[in-house]
Structure 1
Amino acid sequence: MTKARYFKLILILGSLTALGPFSIDMYLPGFAGIAKDLNTTVANVAMTLSSYFIGISAGQLLYGPLLDRYGRKKPLFIGLLVYIAASLGCVFVKDIDTFIGLRFIQAVGSCAATVASVSMVRDLFPVRDIPKVFSLLMLVVGISPMLAPTVGGYVTDAYGWHMVFFILMCIGIVILLAAQFGLPNSYTPDTSISLKPKPILLNFATVLKEPQFYTYAFTGSIAFSGLFTYVAASPILFMDIFKVDAKTYGWIFAFMSLSFILASQLNSVLLKWFSSENMIFGALVTQTIVVTTFLICSIYGLLGMYETIAMLFLFLACLGISNPNTAGLTLAPFTRNAGSASALMGAIQLGLGAFASFAVGVFVKDSMVPMVVIMTVSTITALVVLIIGKRTIKIKY
């Protein structure tokens, strides 16, 4: 594979992977404006995040079998069309309940891009290169939380939050065209795969029975729910508790995403000397130390805004190390069922993310402590799952 082709594949696959995060992050600075326009509260607007996460989680399970049955590009094309239509609907939304519903549909469309991109990584690259490829995808994905809330803050300030969803619709169109004309048919459709409920469930059950899958899928997903906790809580934390405006919040969010980008690129370098298993364990131990310190300091009121940013920066950096490696080891045992495996992995990750964001909407009001408690519980639980699960695994690459 030439360097130019390699770069093009990474760019398009990264854009597909980034569509979901961009759709999450870009409208965050508009929460206060949305609440005002739709005559509701910021906490209720946060429920549109939960509905989005639920939509992605459920949609993953829908697209997995479709991608294995019909190949990668047809389901991807249909999903992106659904995303584009739902984004257009959000431009004209008038009440919070309709908005929550449209965000669910938008998510179901966008997760076609997520599942297809992960499946195509498994199709197109050697197994041992997958953690490195995921780290490179994180570089593309990481740019989205840098740009999205910053751009969203300025767009919201100048044109209102409705314009954000018009821009998301346009991004969906561009990505659809790039995927359709720039990606190869990486997988031959498997007509033996049934789309009836029982065979689909049996196929997922086969994937779940693989010890390497469930150990690293749950380890990575539980740990990664800390990121969803931060994303859902950040508008409340910075705009309500620390009283920054939408533009400043966008810049803070952009700065925080640097930690995830830099850590994922550091991961690519460290993989020359350390195995993925060691990288995951080291990242989770470090994350446990960071979040325990964070919790103690937040309970005793020792953190101002800058200290809080520093703690979150370190926390997100640990996720930037662990996430590419857990994803790589989760998918490594699969060839024939790669679409179903990536879908199930995504469903677990985003289902837990939806649960975490829902908990934020319920508990995070005027204090950062509930946010940090959720992060602490998720981190320690992930470490425990890893330690227990590793005892029964012989790693497959």
Structure 2
Amino acid sequence: MLVTTIAPLMAPIVGGWVLVWLSWHYIFWILALAAILASAMIFFLIKETLPPERRQPFHIRTTIGNFAALFRHKRVLSYMLASGFSFAGMFSFLSAGPFVYIEINHVAPENFGYYFALNIVFLFVMTIFNSRFVRRIGALNMFRSGLWIQFIMAAWMVISALLGLGFWSLVVGVAAFVGCVSMVSSNAMAVILDEFPHMAGTASSLAGTFRFGIGAIVGA
């Protein structure tokens, strides 16, 4: 979960320096090379870890039934939606952040990544915090705590914009919000899989679709 969250946060840092050193065309060449390398590593290096006796054969009717069962479970659906909108907040910043930072607040394009790095720092801190306390507090309580922090930070950013509290109040608010994305998503996945351990693959795929689907729609 941490990897899938850090990847879009690291992208603007790398992309900013590619624009400075080369040109925007090279971004797509780098993406193509990364896709080829990732595909090769998956094919040659990553092996199936599930024992053969525990694997389930693919049946389209069973798969559709599993998805239907997940959609009928209101509590699990609420976890997926909450995780999706948490991701949507981060994706909104990924799409609008460069304009807000560079165009409105006059941050140099090559320096944008350093302000962005603060998000990664908060993300690491909250990930460590989550790993230390999740066994003591429980995944559901950590999930709710992450959502509350994000709600408070979202309200803070609105107040900051309305009152003109300055650029750094926005930067810190965004970083604290983004820092909780992995905390919300990982614990949401934990409670979802706890509800449906017998269809973990289906539940995981649907939760991922909600996360990135809602994030992409809102971020667009």
Q: 1:315 to 1:143 in 2, by over 3 A?
A: closer
1:324 counterpart residue number:
186
Distance in 2 between residues matched to 1:300 and 1:357, nearest whole Å: 25
Q: Which amino acid aligns with 1:267?
A: N
Q: Is the 8 A contact 1:259 1:317 kept in 2?
A: yes
Change (3 A) 1:265 1:332: same
Q: Which SS does the other structure have where 1:186 is aligned? A: coil
SS at match of 2:195: coil
Find the counterpart in structure 1 of residue 145 from structure 2: 282
Give the conservation status (yes or no) of the 8 Å contact 2:5–2:181.
Answer: no
Aligned to 2:12: 149
Provide the rounded CA distance (Å) in 1 between the counterparts of 2:5 and 2:56: 33
Task: Give the aligned length.
Answer: 217
Tell me the SS of whatever aligns to 1:205: helix
Q: Is the 8 A contact 2:127 2:182 kept in 1?
A: yes
* Counterpart contact for 1:212–1:329, Cα < 8 Å: no
* Match runs of 1:236-251 below 5 Å: 236-251=99-114
Could you tell me whether the CA contact under 8 Å between 1:155 and 1:161 is conserved in 2? yes
Question: For residues 208-252 of structure 1, what are the alpha-carbon distances to aligned partners after superposition, in whole Å with 9 as ceiling and x for unaligned?
Answer: 223442131122222221111111111111121112222111222
Q: What amino acid is the match of 1:315?
A: F
Query: What's the counterpart of residue 184 of structure 1?
Result: 47
Match of 2:174 in 1: 312
Bigger drift between 151-160 and 285-294 goes to 285-294
Map 1:73-84; keep pairs closer than 5 Å.
Answer: none
TM superposition shift of 1:180? 1.9
Question: Is 2:86 aligned against 1:223?
Answer: yes
Tell me, yes or no, if the aligned pair for 2:119 and 2:179 is still in contact at 8 Å. Answer: no
* Letter of the structure 2 residue corresponding to residue 271 of structure 1: V
Match 1:193 to one of 53, 59, 67: 59
Report matched runs for 1:102-141 at 5 Å: 137-138=1-2, 140-141=3-4
Contact 1:150 1:250 in 2 (8 A): yes
Alpha-carbon displacement from aligned partner over 1:176-225 (angstroms, at most 9, x marks no partner)? 2222222222345644512xxx7654431122223442131122222221
TM-score (ref. length: structure 1): 0.50
State the shift of 1:298 in Å.
0.9
Listed one character per residue, the Cα deviations across residues 324-381 of structure 1 (whole Å, up to 9, x for unaligned) are: 10121122333443332222112222222123113xxxxxxxxxxxxxxxxxxxxxxx
Which residue pairs with 1:232 in the alignment? 95
**What TM-score comes out, normalization by structure 2 length?**
0.86
Contact 2:142 2:187 in 1 (8 A): yes
| Match among 67, 84, 95 for residue 204 of structure 1 | 67
Q: Output the amino acid matched with 1:158.
A: W
Distance 2:204 2:178 in 1: 23
Q: Specify the code of the residue in structure 1 equivalent to 2:20.
A: D
* CA deviation after TM superposition for structure 1 residue 141, in Å: 4.0
1:63-87: CA deviation from partner (whole Å, max 9, x where unpaired): xxxxxxxxxxxxxxxxxxxxxxxxx
Higher relative contact order (CA 8 A, sep 6+): 2
State how far apart, in whole Å, the 1-side matches of 2:20 and 2:49 are. Answer: 42
How do 1:1-397 residues align onto structure 2 when only pairs under 5 Å count?
137-138=1-2, 140-145=3-8, 147-187=10-50, 190-194=56-60, 200-302=63-165, 304-358=166-220
Structure 1: which 5+ runs fail to align? 1-136, 359-397
Cα distance in 2, alignment partners of residues 256 and 342 from structure 1 = 26
Q: Which structure 1 residue ranges, 4+ long, deviate > 6 Å from structure 2?
A: none
Structure 1 residue 274, shift from structure 2 partner: 0.9
